[in-house]
A and B are shown apart, each in its own frame.
Chain A
Amino acid sequence: MSQPAIVSENLTYHYGDLVAVDHISFEVGEGEILGFLGPNGAGKSTAVKMLTGQLLPKEGRATLLGQDIAHHAKQIQAQIGVCFELTNLYEPMTAAENLNLFARLFGVRNFNADALLERVGLGGKGKVRVETYSKGMKQRLMVARALINRPRILFLDEPTDGLDPVSSETIRNIIKEAQTNGTTVFLTTHDMVEADKLSNRVAFINKGKIVALDTPYALKQQYGKRALKAELVGANGQLESREIVMDAPDTAAQISRLFAEEKVVTVHSEEATLEDIFIQITGRGLV
């Protein structure tokens, strides 16, 4: 892993007696995409609020780009971009007015709103009031707003939640492009497939604690089972499916018998999904 862009050390927050985030520690390297996964109420949003300087930790500390967020929030916020889960745009204003406002707050010189809108697939829509936008367009505008200052760290909270496939794909491409340009991405999502596709590593958070943190591949290796799933024609002429576990002592013999004795139609390799692994670790689903 390269030099860490984010370092969380025993980061803790509680609302009264309710512990929302419980001593979480992790690092995110520069240019890395970390998927931050957990069910509702697991502590994801509170963790993001502390990492972006919206909440002061009750215990522990978070260091972003080498500076403690509790003491240098404004210096850090100048270098990060945040895309919130809930749409919080100035809807009576146009898209360009929204972006120009934030460009001035970030002190971006010679800002070109049209170019950024073009980049997120909203070319030619700059002079349209945001209140007339569809949900997908608003979400793309939110992502565009988070990119105004060419952030070194990008926080994305459920960026594709409830979007149509085209909008989701556009946003995924923007995330990949940002990473290519060296941006670190902290991605909070429910979408396991998206997290699997985009993230270099994923962290599972449950009841305020990080319960697993590794690459998707390593997690699948550690927790998942590998199998072959075959479809074959049964004795009565009906299609049947059969599963062969890959790591069993007699796997090779089973495969040989399958092809020798059965009429195989299709064969697929099967591996655990991140959701399977999350359920296996926490005993609960992600919703």
Chain B
Amino acid sequence: MTFPDASKTSPADRNREKGGRPNRLIHEKSPYLLQHAHNPVDWYPWCPEALNRAVQEDRPILLSIGYSTCHWCHVMERESFRDPETARLMNAHFICIKVDREERPDLDQIYITAVSAMRGSAGWPLNVFLTPTLKPFYGGTYFPPKGGPGLPSWPDILRFLGKAWQDPHQRETLLKSADEVHRLIKRHLEGEGGPPAPMAPRRRVEQAYRSFETHYDPAWGGFSPAPKFPSPSVQAFLFFCHAVSRLNGKDFPEKMGQKALDMALHTLKSMAEGGIYDHVGGGFHRYATDSRWRIPHFEKMLYDNAQLVCNHLTAFQITKDPFFKTIATETLAWVAREMTHPQGGFFSAQDADSPVPGKAASDSSEKKEGAFYVWTLPEIVAALGEEEAMLFAAHYGILPAGNVLEDPHGEFFGKNILYQAETLQETARHIQCPVESVQRRLAASRKRLLGIRDRRPKPHLDDKIITAWNGLMISALAKAAQVLQSRDHLFRAVKGAEFLWRHLYDEPQKRLYRIWRDGQRRIPAVAEDYAAFLQGLLDLYETDFDMKWLKRAETLGRTLIDTFFDPKTGSLFMNPVSLKEAHRVRIRETHDGVLPSAASMATLGLFRMYGLTGQNRFRQTAESMLHSFAGALEKNPAGAPFMLTAARYLEGKTLQVVLAGPLKDPTMQKMVEVAHAAFHPARILILLDSPARPQQGPKWLPSIGAMDLANGKPRVYLCENRTCTRPVCHPETLKAFFESPKGISNAALFENGA
């Protein structure tokens, strides 16, 4: 296994070879910032020095935001920021600041909202012009180096705004518009304020479901026309609806529950069969540009894959279809192979673009989208031999002239993006060969191609370690350990959690950091870092039942509330409530995007903390945060699907499963296995494995007081909705409890002796 050596592979280094003198960004750790470290632009990172200079010199700020695996960010860097004449214009008129959006999601959120307000839409690269007091007066995304009719070039914009700022009359207009935009984004991001009205989550759940049903693509799954994003929160929500409907048709109608399950499974399957999934190496690309999931945008993000692994594992729990297990396992194998730091943390992303195999790798302008992943038929034949290649080509839709039909930019001419064109059964029928043998032969071919692909020039790896994304991956691995009973996944989850605790948590200060790279932690964590790590720790506790994880989760939960929760409005802010930054815009997220919002993750996490510790503060905060979404959900019920999965906890319908007995006991192990295998929409798992636990327990697990360990025989205590059943003593009975849709009645437990 090899790990990238940033000092050898960074684009900044390649620029240095071309003689560009480094600017201030050379001292940064973010791969994105380092990609700009040899620009002739006098870039600053976001820092007091830059902000002060703008005030002192009364110059506007050009804030340019992007991320290292963003295709159009690379294009603008190459076309404009490397160009000495353009750089001269930028340096003459503006204080130029570069920000990696993955390092500073708060700044990204503020200024993307500003550009959306100004232009109706926004994306990356994001270029915003600010007054020295950080109020935005103009902005946009990608600007070309040369203009066209009605389309200003980047140098045009620079000249125009530079001049306008010098002219007192025009400056007045700019300042006025800056004030207006600032007011708008402040109102939009901070919300109306005031304590929220309680809401009825059950109604919102149904409304959200109906919205997804309306937008569902029955042919290929997904909930929007192209471009199609994986939207893992939506699938998680649909699994939740299905599970609730099975427990009680009054809580969610059973017919709709079945449809919810069908939509989620079909979407997951279509994606996993499409080109958005890397059939050779495992893992999902970021999104598909077509409705059939065939043509991806090739970057791979840690957060998508973590959440999609969780969803595939849920699909496997519900259906027992090995297909979903395979996809989860292959994706985690990719994470282990390519995305894991030797000490255990997880890297952020792999780029879409890479040097074209066989061409000189030194010139980065030779990079092409997907070059690492696509194949020609002759390449496949050369790699596998005629006979295997024909089998492989039939199964994965490979055509002599290339299989990318919707290719407006002609990027993939003659190339093939692998997708599952036939089922295994169909391929087996065509070549009249047993399914098992086809399966074996395809697996051998994939392995061979992976070996060959690994010798191609690799896409750039963004190897910074982000706490929030790592939290999601810890959850995915913990869940894999539970569902697949695999020690290896548990080992990796533990290593990841220990990495974060050692390198990103400042124990004396009780503060979490967001970013670690190259031996250094940087940038105070935002709410999502706390919330996602908290969730990861709870999932880990429910896997190996080490109290250490629970204690750490409790510490994080408290700091999360103290730092980000605003009792006045009852809501969670993304940046600290007591923030001191000059723009003083606090961000309240009210929808779940590619990542669930910090508030959604925190709400679930704190409800679970309450279930484990009985501390009312956790429950009250969680309830308040859920209610704080009322207004947003009224306007758009489908806007926060992940938040809605907390509805069950709000209604107090939590299933508490206390596994009591020594873990060494084989019956006990079987009970744990059964509990781990089942999917439940709101479950708390607790282990009580030694007589010592009840004594130290109550502080942590107060509800276990009544449970008895005296005879050391394994028992499982099940409590739900403030009632309990008789303890279960046999794994088979526990299995029946989870499998029977309405649970199992106490009377039955008495009758069969539990």
- Asked if chains A and B come from one complex, the reply is no
